Amino acid sequence: MNLNKGYWESRYEKMGGKRTVGKSSWDDKTYQEVLDQFNSGVLDAMMGGRRWGRILDFGCGIGRWRPGLERRCGLYCGTDIIEEVLQDGCMLMTDNLIPYPEGYFGLIFSCMVLQHVVDDELMADYVRQFKALLEPGGSVFLVENTSGPDNNYMRKRSAKDYIDIFSEGGLPLKKVGAFKEHSVLVSTEF
């Protein structure tokens, strides 16, 4: 089981060493506009003024959501499978293990990452790891494409699929909104 690390390394190279996500045709200005829309349309609108002690940005990449998340926590932590993209305060995942202690996070944030976990067993393992990493009363906040293709690097799942997968792992989710073709799901009320 893996997250197709070679695919993401080649995306990073293809995007000029600047990022791994977004359309390769986007210039820096367009990419920033999309990030700004997301920050106002999802983070500000759905998280509001809520704050957490520690937030994990699962699949943080270059830290595209970091500024919006840092405003909402005492400590921002990230993890990714590509070492070259990691910023200060972020840790490399090896062997599909999230490298933080149990009960450490008030919030685990994952945006457009789990849609790339095509293996069902690995997905179930990540849900188990999320549950273990959350402090009592902690939350999961997911934004995932629920209308994308099914291929070797993306698994098409509906909002209900995510709800079922997380419920089976002991982390009940509910859909609270949408942003373009993405569903927003959370494990607790905000």
pLDDT score, position 172:
92
Q: How far apart are CA 39 and CA 171, in angstroms?
A: 25
pLDDT score, position 50:
86
pLDDT score, position 181:
73
Q: Where are the domains of the chain?
A: 5-186
- Judged against a pLDDT cut of 90, whether residue 92 lies above it is answered with yes
Instruction: Write out pLDDT tens, residues 27-41.
Output: 888 878 888 887 777
Q: Which residue has the higher pLDDT, 13 or 136?
A: 136
List the CATH code of the domain at 5-186.
3.40.50.150
pTM, 2 dp: 0.88
Instruction: Write out pLDDT tens, residues 66-81.
Output: 988 998 999 999 999 9
pLDDT score, position 167:
94
Q: How far apart are CA 181 and CA 74, in angstroms?
A: 31
* Strand 174-179, strand 182-186: pairing: antiparallel
- Which residues on adjacent β-strands are paired with residue 111? 143
What is the DSSP code (8-state) at residue 39?
Answer: I
- Judged against a pLDDT cut of 80, whether residue 94 lies above it is answered with yes
- Judged against a pLDDT cut of 50, whether residue 1 lies above it is answered with no
pLDDT score, position 169:
94
- Judged against a pLDDT cut of 90, whether residue 45 lies above it is answered with no
